[in-house]
A and B are shown apart, each in its own frame.
Chain A
């Protein structure tokens, strides 16, 4: 049981290049999330998918797109990377049923550097 996995672990891009960050969970969770973490800013929600087939914008969606490929996988795409997108990206998931005591489970993160 791997939990939430993310690939790649680290990536360097040049301005204008594109890339896709991959996320998969094996906990049969309904909801999945993409966050970015910058120093002193905490975690900010980029996009989320409440259930398979749905996606919604979070706090900072500009410059990103997402795809909920199936129940397990949720990818984040940068179409034209900018230096402002240098960050650590975390994927998370949870049951999404609104039950008390529920939490989000996080992956190990992808460190992205845009030059």
Chain B
């Protein structure tokens, strides 16, 4: 069993929809949680970063961490075709250094 599980999708939604992307994990030592966005044939880029449990909002994006359930989520409001990409969750037991990634969820937002 992988340490971090993520539904590979693809997830197809109409423009303007609210998108929910999720990851589950098994290692209770993880404290730092990240979401990376990866466009086709590009390197991943950091989208959101949270520490421990709770919510963090940045524009249309909200990251949520529930350590008791070992479950993290990324919500995208008013989704746009430009949000079409693969979203990778990543987590670490210490700040930023050794990351464990989920397999990624491919999102397609249709105009």
Binding site for B on A (CB under 8 A): 4, 31, 40-45, 48, 50, 90, 92, 94-96, 98-109
Q: How many residues of chain B have a CB within 8 Å of chain A?
A: 24
Partner of B97, one of A4, A31, A101: A31
25 A-B pairs within 8 Å (CB atoms) are namely: A40-B103, A40-B104, A41-B103, A42-B6, A42-B88, A42-B102, A43-B99, A44-B101, A45-B99, A50-B97, A90-B43, A92-B43, A94-B97, A96-B97, A98-B94, A98-B95, A99-B95, A100-B51, A101-B49, A101-B95, A102-B96, A103-B34, A103-B46, A107-B43, A109-B43
Binding site for A on B (CB under 8 A): 4, 6, 8, 34, 41-46, 49, 51, 88, 90, 94-99, 101-104
Using a Cβ cutoff of 8 Å, how many contacts connect chains A and B? 60
A91, closest chain B residue (CB): B43
Contacts of A42 in B (CB 8 A): 4, 6, 88, 101-104
8 nearest A-B residue pairs (beta carbon): A106-B43, A102-B96, A42-B101, A42-B103, A43-B101, A103-B46, A98-B95, A40-B103
